Amino acid sequence: MNDKKFQIKTESGLFTDMYELTMAEAYFKQKIHNTPASFDYFFRKLPFSGGYVIFCGLGELLPLIENLHFNADEINWLREQGFDNDFLAWLSAFRFKGTIRSMPEGEIIFPLEPLLHVEGSLAEVQLIETLLLNYLNFQSLIATKAARIRYAAGDRHLSEFGLRRAQALGGISASRAAIAGGFDSTSNVYAAKMYDIKASGTMAHSFIQSQENELIAFREFAEWQPGNCTLLVDTYDTLKSGIPNAITVAREMKEKGQQLQGVRLDSGDLAYLSKKARRMLDDAGFQNVQIVVSNQLDEYLIKSLLEQKAPIDVFGVGTSLATGQPDAALDGVYKLGEINGKPKIKLSENIQKVTLPGIKQVYRFTDEEGRFIADAISLASDGIPNQMIHPYDPEKSMPLNTKLASPLLHKIMENGKSLLQQYEPKDVAAFSQKRLQLLPEEHKRFNNPHIYKVGISESLHQLRSDLRREYKF
């Protein structure tokens, strides 16, 4: 039995895939490991059949890249795996010294466009690939799901309940991304402390079952949690037992100068039960007692509940949010764009998988009111394009007003040091919600959202075409 105790440290160089290390060793033995190179991070397909993605995870990623290293124990383990001693000596002194340009965390992003551009020596920019994809793909997926739920819920309180169904320690990142996407609180105590998030929680059915009866359970909970008392009312019978007992306790609390905060529904027909519960509470004089609901909620169910005029104040969303249902992952990729000053391309029989070569910039074009119209990908050396071409159909093009354009990629790391201040998830959320307000409504709808226009400049199109011919494809 292995009696070693492990603590997961994502700043460890071992937080990667084996092929990253084997490639780095090959570069080293070829003596090309210090060759200048650049990579782009982008994704190809929108999740949730939606119209946009929220860029998330950058705030956690940068400190990890800054501190990425291999300690002595890790080097010894790699030696046991058969890695060359000269390469391991280089690896033991490894620190990332590259430059990163990126879109802001919380930006509204779309397929194909470079979201983050990495420049440095070939080996070092290769070695951060897995770490980068791990953080950005997952958190962008969850933040997008959270933003969709926020859109459905309007201004109602949203609490993230996903830790029990999340993928192990991914639950910590899920809580961060949920807040960045627009949620108000989390049940995840660890994440609440780490990210300065409001912690929220009520009770489980087991607390009520552990007591002699439901009324005693409610009284005991109110006794010990008078300032944060939300009662779970569906353990036995919501309308015949749960709500009446909650009203009894609410009256007793009122006599003590206290106030019942809410009741929670966790099963059954939430639209029907919330309406009945609201009427019973109001008739008893407890109009301020909130109705909290949970139980397999997602953006579609929340939208349906509110369309039915369900009087719900708080939504607790767990599984579908923390796991990104129904999409397991964002298909973000990290592809070589240039090496030693020469543009590079990855070819495919599928034109959508042919990469965009060279060092690029992304420009966002707006109308006079600042609303988003289109994004154009251009070679960085060319400046703002006045026309863009459809990325897969050169017969389609669109003129662009260069006066209403702004670059999206900005330098955020230089010589391996972050240039950004650390933002809390709620700061990312504020920026993201502000940007979402500039995205036309037709791109936000859940069913058949309008496709946002992303194109490439004429010079980039020409470069890609030239390289395809060069490689005889």
Range 202-311 classified under CATH 3.40.220.10: no
Quote the CA–CA distance of 358 and 41 in Å, as a whole number. Answer: 13
3-state secondary structure of 214: helix
Tens-of-pLDDT digits for all 473 residues of the chain? 344 554 566 789 999 999 999 999 999 999 999 999 999 999 999 999 999 999 999 999 999 999 999 999 999 999 999 999 999 999 999 999 999 999 999 999 999 999 999 999 999 999 999 999 999 999 999 999 999 999 999 999 999 999 999 988 899 999 999 999 999 999 999 999 999 999 998 999 999 999 999 999 999 999 999 999 999 999 999 999 999 999 999 999 999 999 999 999 999 999 999 999 999 999 999 999 999 999 999 999 999 999 999 999 999 999 999 999 999 899 999 999 999 999 999 998 888 889 999 999 999 999 999 999 999 999 999 999 999 999 999 999 999 999 999 999 999 999 999 998 877 899 999 999 999 999 999 999 999 999 999 999 999 999 999 999 998 75
Predicted pLDDT at 138: 97
Q: Side-chain half-sphere of 398: how many Cα atoms within 13 Å?
A: 18
Predicted pLDDT at 8: 61
- List where CATH 3.20.140.10 sits in the chain: 18-142+327-470
DSSP letter (8 states) at residue 357 = P
Predicted pLDDT at 9: 66
Alpha helices in 68-213 (DSSP H): 72-80, 85-92, 122-127, 129-153, 170-180, 189-195, 205-209
- Judge whether 148 and 447 are in contact, CB under 8 Å: no
Predicted pLDDT at 434: 98
Q: Side-chain half-sphere of 426: how many Cα atoms within 13 Å?
A: 10
- The residue among 325, 337, 246 whose CA lies nearest residue 286 is 246
The first and second tokens of residue 303, run together, are 């939208």
Task: Specify the CATH architecture of the domain 18-142+327-470.
Answer: Alpha-Beta Barrel (3.20)
Predicted pLDDT at 4: 52
Instruction: Confirm whether pTM is higher than 0.85.
Output: yes
Predicted pLDDT at 1: 39
- List where CATH 3.20.20.70 sits in the chain: 202-311
Predicted pLDDT at 452: 98
